[in-house]
Structure 1
């Protein structure tokens, strides 16, 4: 699923736009002869911009895991410009990824970072994906801070400066995120998963901040409204400096919930979207639940919620459960299991 992310002006270009472009006859395309190629090193200008106006005179101890992705050279230079103590791992850009796959949403890929944070007694660890637009965070206790938890912490800082503004989370995010935004005086908005969909919604509702469980964090507050994991990392450092607390302490203010990891259920040879429609039909007979169908189906009650949706990029169905207690979580998992059985998808143990 490698390819291009297209932009048109200041907005994403995706979905039907790309299909329409592909139908354009080649004889209507104007060929321009005699162009030139210019190479620019923008690292210094980029770092100057992302550091602009932030409080980064820090004594923090930070471990950075670049995962042999493109963020490596930039983080190597950034760490030398910041105060505090820094250990930078895997900065050489290597598409073979000799140390681990650069996906910060997979716990196995964060094992080295967690080990280094604990060994150094560091204040936090920060990991990046291969192209530097997704972030993973480890707190001072060596625990993973998931995308929705990170968004909740960043939202508090943004809402101090822009009270009452809209903060967007994707449909996979914890209810704790949306409750936290409300408690902080913001307007939570649940939206479809997908970076282009999120960016468009941000522009539509003028949201200063948005994020996904996958670690995409989008700032239009003092930034450009796209997902830049290096900038998100710097904003997190700024928050920790501003509050003067350990990251684990800041995290403890978030609502307490229990959830499952994201389940990825293969459905090759089946129409994943028609399966979601089957689920919607089944749910017509359910009572005392709230159904959100903006992206798949998210079924909520006062005890928690479960989600089932079709992946935008792979032949899989994605599912997740969350509850306010272990007992309630088992009940919600049982509901999900029943639904999966009725649409003939295997229910994995979790």
Structure 2
């Protein structure tokens, strides 16, 4: 019996040692998964080697890396495993501590580093973690992540250096705060009247000191500023109405104050009006673009294909050049760089400024630009939003659908609808179909087996019409996984907004 137990323990230990990370963690924009299910601390040494092996294939002079981490429970051991592995292979490390992802991006501009890594899973729940990668001053994504995946599973790593690397700690947050305080010195001591929901994310490493530096103690208050990787109050995704419920209560009880929501690693910012209206990413980009185009006519503005129809026309009306990118902030950033665009953003409230900033998405910097815009215009956020066309849009429906089935769905939509009178089709990322008074987009998720679907109409009647037009076709492809009602992710739907999903249910039953 003892011998059997010994061999069983030996077998289990061998299985553990041979276990590898789930291939699904190598996503479109980063490496990310559920800790101890898809990715474990024990996987990190080989993941670290796969990353630097790829970096060296692009630039064989890569030597020094900045590494930061968010406040997740697993971030310290993951970072320690990453740092120790890289030091053993001769890489020098600048440890910038617990910080926001934009502070890591800032490191690539301000420190003498060849690359930068951030241990984070952005807005995902606390049981997730992962790694964002920057080479020089650009994000590593797409095929590059897939190449890192291939290096990881083939174990084709660079050779170990005979000389150990050196690790130094660096307080970059203080530099970052000084930069922002100098850049926005005209706002020092001004009455801002804002409540900021940090969501227990990494924003709490910056905002208390920034508020003090800006002398805003009496006009800016913080909600959930304690960095807590268990996210005890809500998931740190500010685009969700459900997650912003506490912020809304505070705002509604603070007459004239606006709300600011930041995500877990602080690369996104979603504002809320004093009446509790949460501003969408395409609306936010429009608000930022108007004064920018007034001061810089003929500038290019990049937005993702899921953004509202009104955005394209507004940018043209304001003298700018609208450019449509595939979904994903990395795609927006790449198109901005290729076309020397002044600003870009996407529906999920990532915003990139390159007119007066470094050209990366930064929730706190976006917040500062919003405060500046409100101060200089003397308008309220409600008054600013009122200038935008009042289109009616659905949430983003994310329905279970394997990628192959989603591509078949897109092909069928093209075949069936492209010949309809008055339609216009854009096919750079899935399919976007325009009618005179409504549009729809269907695209495969880059990270999960889901179809991402969104509708918009000039009126409620137009929205209902296009949802009903698409429902029978979409119904043939989405999976119901044992239930007559599809699973919905990342959408907080009111009873009216559930109409489209219920229509699918009625067709199926």
Question: When the two structures are superposed, what TM-score results if normalisation uses the length of structure 2?
Answer: 0.65
Residues 60 and 122, structure 1, Cα contact 8 Å, conserved in 2: no
Residues 263 and 320, structure 1, Cα contact 8 Å, conserved in 2: yes
Q: Distance in 2 between matches of 1:329 and 1:287?
A: 18
Q: Which moved more, 1:72-81 or 1:277-286?
A: 277-286
Matched, 1:20 2:147: yes
Give the gaps of 5 or more residues in structure 2: 1-24, 26-31, 33-129, 480-485, 487-499, 504-509
Q: Distance in 2 between matches of 1:40 and 1:165?
A: 37
Name the residue aligned to 2:430: 296
Residues 123 and 247, structure 1, Cα contact 8 Å, conserved in 2: no
Q: Give 3-state SS (helix, strand or coil) of 1:38's partner.
A: strand
Name the residue aligned to 2:201: 69
Name the residue aligned to 1:39: 169
Q: Distance in 2 between matches of 1:62 and 1:51?
A: 17
Name the residue aligned to 1:123: 257
Name the residue aligned to 1:81: 213
Deviations 1:195-244 (A, max 9, x none): 21111111001111101111111111111111111100001101001101
Deviations 1:106-140 (A, max 9, x none): 11001111111111114311011111111111012
What is the root-mean-square deviation of aligned Cα atoms in Å?
2.0
- Residue 374 (structure 2) aligned to one of 224, 228, 240: 240
Q: Distance in 2 between matches of 1:221 and 1:200?
A: 16
Q: Distance in 1 between matches of 2:344 and 2:221?
A: 29
Q: Give 3-state SS (helix, strand or coil) of 2:454's partner.
A: strand
Q: Distance in 1 between matches of 2:472 and 2:371?
A: 44
Deviations 1:287-311 (A, max 9, x none): 3200111111111121121111111
Q: Distance in 1 between matches of 2:411 and 2:178?
A: 49
Deviations 1:77-110 (A, max 9, x none): 2222233511101111112110011111111001
Name the residue aligned to 1:219: 353
Q: Give 3-state SS (helix, strand or coil) of 2:451's partner.
A: strand
Q: Distance in 1 between matches of 2:411 and 2:181?
A: 46
Q: Cα offset for 1:73?
A: 2.2
Mapping of residues 267-306 of structure 1, within 5 Å: 267-268=401-402, 271-306=405-440
Q: Cα offset for 1:271?
A: 4.1
Q: Which moved more, 1:279-288 or 1:258-267?
A: 279-288
Residues 401 and 477, structure 2, Cα contact 8 Å, conserved in 1: no
Q: Distance in 2 between matches of 1:349 and 1:96?
A: 34
Give the gaps of 5 or more residues in structure 1: none
Residues 399 and 450, structure 2, Cα contact 8 Å, conserved in 1: yes
Between Structure 1 and Structure 2, how many residues are aligned? 350
> Which has the bigger relative contact order, CA under 8 A and spacing at least 6?
1
Residues 279 and 343, structure 1, Cα contact 8 Å, conserved in 2: no
Q: Cα offset for 1:52?
A: 3.6
Q: Distance in 2 between matches of 1:264 and 1:92?
A: 32
Larger radius of gyration: 2
Residues 118 and 140, structure 1, Cα contact 8 Å, conserved in 2: yes
- Residue 187 (structure 2) aligned to one of 52, 56, 59: 56
Q: Cα offset for 1:22?
A: 4.5
Q: Which moved more, 1:281-290 or 1:64-73?
A: 281-290
Q: Which moved more, 1:29-38 or 1:146-155?
A: 29-38
Question: When the two structures are superposed, what TM-score results if normalisation uses the length of structure 1?
Answer: 0.94
Q: Give 3-state SS (helix, strand or coil) of 1:312's partner.
A: coil
Q: Distance in 2 between matches of 1:269 and 1:324?
A: 30
Residues 267 and 362, structure 2, Cα contact 8 Å, conserved in 1: yes
Q: Distance in 2 between matches of 1:49 and 1:158?
A: 21
Mapping of residues 115-264 of structure 1, within 5 Å: 115-264=249-398
Q: Cα offset for 1:342?
A: 4.1
Q: Distance in 2 between matches of 1:270 and 1:167?
A: 32
Q: Distance in 2 between matches of 1:340 and 1:201?
A: 30
Residues 278 and 343, structure 1, Cα contact 8 Å, conserved in 2: no
Residues 391 and 459, structure 2, Cα contact 8 Å, conserved in 1: yes
In 2 relative to 1, CA 185–154 (structure 1 residues): closer, same or farther, beyond 3 Å?
A: same
- Residue 459 (structure 2) aligned to one of 307, 325, 332: 325
